[in-house]
Structure 1
Amino acid sequence: MGDKAGTHAPPDRQAGFTMVTPENKLRRALNVPLLTLYGLGVTVGAGIYVLVGATAAEAGVFAPVSFVVAAVVVAFTAFSYAELSTRYPVSAGEAAYVEAGFSSASLATVVGLAVVLSGLVSAAAVSLGAASYLHGLTGAPTEGLTVAVVALMAVIALWGITQSVTVAAVITVIEVSGLLMVMLWGFVFSDPSGVTLPEIIPPLTGPHWVGIGTASLLAFFAFVGFEDMANVAEEVKDPLHTMPRAILWTLVLATVLYIGTTTAVLMAVPLETLSASAAPLLLVFADAPAPLQQGFSLVAIVATVNGVLIQMIMASRVLYGLADRGHLPKPLAYVSPKTQTPVVATLVVGLTILLLALTFPIDALAERTSQIVLFVFVLVNLALIRIKLAGAPADQHFRVPMAVPVLGVGTSLLLLATGLL
C-alpha cells in the first residue's frame, strides 16, 4: 500500500464526471484531525452504547475479541474506500465509485440512494432516541422534542461545513469522553463484580469461537459509519493524503475505544446482568455518585444528537453529488454562495428524517439499514476490482493490493448472508 504518482487526467474528468465551476464548488476545508473526528463521530455512537450487552450475550466473557474480529473484517473495505476516495474525491462517493467501476449511471444512482436511505433511517431512529432521553429529563412531549432536535441539526448543517463538522467534532470529543469515563470508572473506581482480565483472552480452539463469530456480526455494525467520510471528500483539503490517514485513524481509534469499553464493563458488571441490559454502560456507574450518573446520561444524549447531525451532513452531500452529475433533479445541487453548503439537499434530508421519525415504524426500517450498508460494501469493492483490472487511469492516488477489495467482497457477502438467515 502507498501513494503512487501518475500523469493522467484528474479524477473529476473520469467516469462521466464533469468539472464544476469554482463558484458552485463545495469548500475544501477539512484536514486530518477534523475529518478523523467526523469519522469517529459517525462511527462511535449509539452502537457501542447499546451493543456491549448484546455482544456479551453471544460471546460471553470473550466479547472484546468479537470487536477485534469485526475490526479486521471492516479494515478490508476501509482500505478499499481509502483508494477510491483519492481516485475520485467527490461527494456521493459510493455512487461515483460504482459508476466508475461499472459504467452504469443507473446502478450508481441506486447505490447513492441506498446510502441516503440508510442515513435517513439511521438519523430518524437516533433522533427518536435523543428525544426519548430528553423526555426523561424534561418531561416535554417526545414529538415536539423530535422536531426540535431535527430542526436544530438542520440549522447547524446549513451553517457551513467547517462550522457543522466543528460542532460535530466537539460533540464527538464529549461522546468519546463518555467512553473514557466508562473505562476509568470500570478499571479503577468500581467494585470488580465481573471477570478478571486473563479470563477475557480465549483459548485458541474450542466451541467458544462460534459465539465470538456470532457476536462479531453485532460488533461489525458498531464500526459502520467510516464509509460516510467518503461523502465529504469534495470538502477535504489534500484528499490524497488526508483521506487514507483519517480513515486509518478512525478505524484504529474506534477499535481501541470499543475493546477498552467492553473490557471495562465486563470487569465491573456481572455477565448475567450485563447480557440482559439495553443500557449496559450505565451499569458501570451503579455505585457512582448521582451527579456522575446524571452526567453520563447527558453524554448519551449528546452522542445521539451527534449521530443525527453527521448523518444529515452525509445524506445531503450524496443527494448534492447525484444531482450535480445529473442523476437527480438539478435544484438538489444548489449550493449557497454564502455558506457554500447544499441548501436544498439539506432541507430535503431534514424534512425526510422528520417525516420518518414521526410517522413510520423506525425499528422495522432500521433492521434493514445494516443489510443496505453491506450491499453497498459489496458493490464498492467490486467496483474497485473492475477499475484495477481495467487499468483505469487516474491522477495521484493511494493504492491497495487487489487482495484487499477481493477480501472486502468476501467478508461483506458472508456477513450479508448470515444476516439474512
Structure 2
Amino acid sequence: MEKIVTAKVPVELKRKLTLPLLTLYGLGVTIGAGIYVLVGTTAARAGIYAPISFLIAAGVVSFTGFAYAELSTRHPVSAGEAAYVRAGFNSSTLTLVVGLLVAASGIVSSAAVSIGAAAYIGEIVPVPPTVIAVAVILIVGVMAAWGILESVMIAAIFTLIEMGGLILVIYYGVSADPEILSRTAELLPPFEISTWGGIISASLLAFFAFVGFEDMANVAEEVVEPHKTLPRGIFLTLLIASILYFLVVSVVVLVVPMADLAGSAAPLALVFEKSGDTTGGIFRTIAIVATTNGVLIQIIMASRVLYGLAMQKNLPSFLASVSPVTRTPLVATGVVVALVLVFATLLPIARLAEATSTIVLIVFCFVNLALIRLKRTSPSPSTSVFVVPIWVPVLGLLFSIALLLTGFLPV
C-alpha cells in the first residue's frame, strides 16, 4: 500500500488590521514613543522654542512619509524597508543591513520608552527604575506574543487613552494659566545663529517623537486591503501626531519652568504639579499606559521585521516560525524582548533616543534612494499603487541627510 505524504502548509499571518486599527497602531507607537518622554530633553537644547523643533522634524518626516506610502503599496510585505531596498538596489547585503537597522530602531526605541514608563510608574510605586523597566518589558513581551489582533486591539485602546492624556495636558495647561494664549508670540525664535543652532540640534531628538509611522509598513501582511489602507493610515498618523505635538509642546514650555522641564524623564507630569492628587494621578496613569503602549508596538514591529527577513532568506529560518496557536512569530518576539532588556538596563534615555533617531534617518535615506531608483529604472506601477512625484523622495533624502548632520552640531 502506497503511503500518502501530505505536505505541511506553513502557517501564515492573518489580515485583520482595518484603517482605524492601523491608524491607531501608528499613532500608538508614534505618540507613546516620544511626546510623553522627550519634551524635557528637547527643551534642554531648544528652550522655549522646542515647538519649532517639532515642526522641523514633522517637515522632514512628511516627505519620507509620502515615499513610504508609494513603496508600501508597491511591496505590501513584512520587513517592508528591506523589501524596498531589495527592489531598488537588488543587493542582498544592503537588504539585510537595512532590515537589521529597522529592527534595531524598534529595539532601541522600546528600551528608551520603557525607561520613560519606569519614570512615570516610579512616581507612584517606590521601586528602583531598572526593576520597573524590566517588569514592563517582560509583561509587554507576553502581550506581543499573544496575537496580532489581540495585541493591536490592546494597543488601540491604549492609544485612545494616551491621546486623551495629551488633550488633558492642553486643556489643563490653558485653563490653569489662560494668559499663555497671549504669550504664543514668545514661541517665535529670533534670527540668531546660536538660537537656531539649539533648535535644529533639538530637532534630532524631536524626530524621535515621530518614529512610528514607518512601522505600519512592517505589518503590511496583516492589513486588510493594504493598497488602500496603508497610505491613508500613514497620512492620518502624521497629520494627527503633528497637530497634537505642536499644541502639547507649546503648552508645556509656556507653563512649566524651564529649569524643571529640561532633562525630565516624565516631563508632561510637571504640568499637573499644582493640580492636586486626583488630576495628577489620572494623568500619571494615562502616561503609564501611553509609554507602555509605545514599548508594545515597537516590539511587535521589530519582531515582524526579523520574521520578514527570515522569510526572505536573509536570516535563519527559525526566526520565521509562526505559532499555530497565537499566529505570531514567537521566536522572533523572544529575541526582540531579550535585546530590549539589555539596552534598557545599560544606556540612558537621551542616548537611546538619539541612537534611534540616527538609525531611522539612515533607513529613511536608503528608502528614499530606493524609490528614486525604482522611478528611474522601472516601468510605471499598476493603478492600484499610490504614486508620488520623483521630487518627493529627493526632498525626503535631502532633508533626512540634513537632519542627520545636526547630530554633529555642538549642544
Contact 2:120 2:266 in 1 (8 A): no
Alignment partner of 1:230 out of 217, 234, 241: 217
Aligned to 1:107: 94
Structure 1 residues 144, 200: closer, same or farther in 2, change over 3 A?
Answer: closer
Aligned to 2:391: 403
Alignment partner of 1:85 out of 52, 72, 77: 72
Larger mean Cα displacement after TM superposition, 386-395 or 306-315:
386-395
Structure 1 residues 138, 200: closer, same or farther in 2, change over 3 A?
Answer: closer
Residue correspondence of structure 1 range 156-305 to structure 2 within 5 A: 156-190=143-177, 192=179, 196-201=183-188, 209-271=196-258, 273-275=260-262, 277-305=264-292
Contact 1:105 1:327 in 2 (8 A): yes
Aligned to 2:402: 414
Larger mean Cα displacement after TM superposition, 232-241 or 42-51:
42-51
Structure 1 residues 392, 70: closer, same or farther in 2, change over 3 A?
Answer: same
For 2:128 and 2:47, locate their aligned partners in 1 and report how far apart those are by CA, in whole Å. 38
For 1:132 and 1:72, locate their aligned partners in 2 and report how far apart those are by CA, in whole Å. 30
TM-score (norm 2): 0.89
Identity %: 55
Residue correspondence of structure 1 range 28-43 to structure 2 within 5 A: 28-43=15-30
State the 1:223 CA deviation. Answer: 1.1
Deviations 1:342-392 (A, max 9, x none): 12211221222223334x335555542221111111001000001111124
TM-score (norm 1): 0.87
Q: Report whether the alignment pairs 1:311 with 2:308.
A: no
Aligned to 2:347: 361
Structure 1 residues 72, 141: closer, same or farther in 2, change over 3 A?
Answer: closer
State the 1:60 CA deviation. Answer: 4.2
Say which SS state the counterpart of residue 338 (structure 1) adopts: coil
Residue correspondence of structure 1 range 340-351 to structure 2 within 5 A: 340-351=327-338
Alignment partner of 2:55 out of 68, 81, 94: 68
For 1:238 and 1:184, locate their aligned partners in 2 and report how far apart those are by CA, in whole Å. 37
One-letter amino acid of the structure 2 residue matched with residue 45 of structure 1: G
One-letter amino acid of the structure 2 residue matched with residue 405 of structure 1: P
One-letter amino acid of the structure 2 residue matched with residue 81 of structure 1: Y
Say which SS state the counterpart of residue 295 (structure 2) adopts: helix
State the 1:46 CA deviation. Answer: 4.4
Contact 1:191 1:268 in 2 (8 A): no
Contact 1:190 1:287 in 2 (8 A): no
State the 1:61 CA deviation. Answer: 3.9
Contact 1:194 1:270 in 2 (8 A): no
State the 1:178 CA deviation. Answer: 1.1
For 2:326 and 2:120, locate their aligned partners in 1 and report how far apart those are by CA, in whole Å. 32
Aligned to 2:3: none
Say which SS state the counterpart of residue 326 (structure 1) adopts: coil
| Number of positions where the alignment pairs a residue of Structure 1 with one of Structure 2 | 399
Deviations 1:89-148 (A, max 9, x none): 000011110011000111101111111112112212332443344344233455554443
For 2:51 and 2:321, locate their aligned partners in 1 and report how far apart those are by CA, in whole Å. 45
Structure 1 residues 143, 64: closer, same or farther in 2, change over 3 A?
Answer: closer
For 2:116 and 2:392, locate their aligned partners in 1 and report how far apart those are by CA, in whole Å. 36
Deviations 1:16-51 (A, max 9, x none): xxxxx9853211111111111111111112422243
Structure 1 residues 143, 267: closer, same or farther in 2, change over 3 A?
Answer: closer
One-letter amino acid of the structure 1 residue matched with residue 283 of structure 2: F
Say which SS state the counterpart of residue 275 (structure 2) adopts: coil
Structure 1, unpaired ranges of 5+: 1-20
One-letter amino acid of the structure 1 residue matched with residue 61 of structure 2: V
Contact 1:193 1:270 in 2 (8 A): no
Structure 2, unpaired ranges of 5+: 1-7
Structure 1 residues 418, 297: closer, same or farther in 2, change over 3 A?
Answer: same
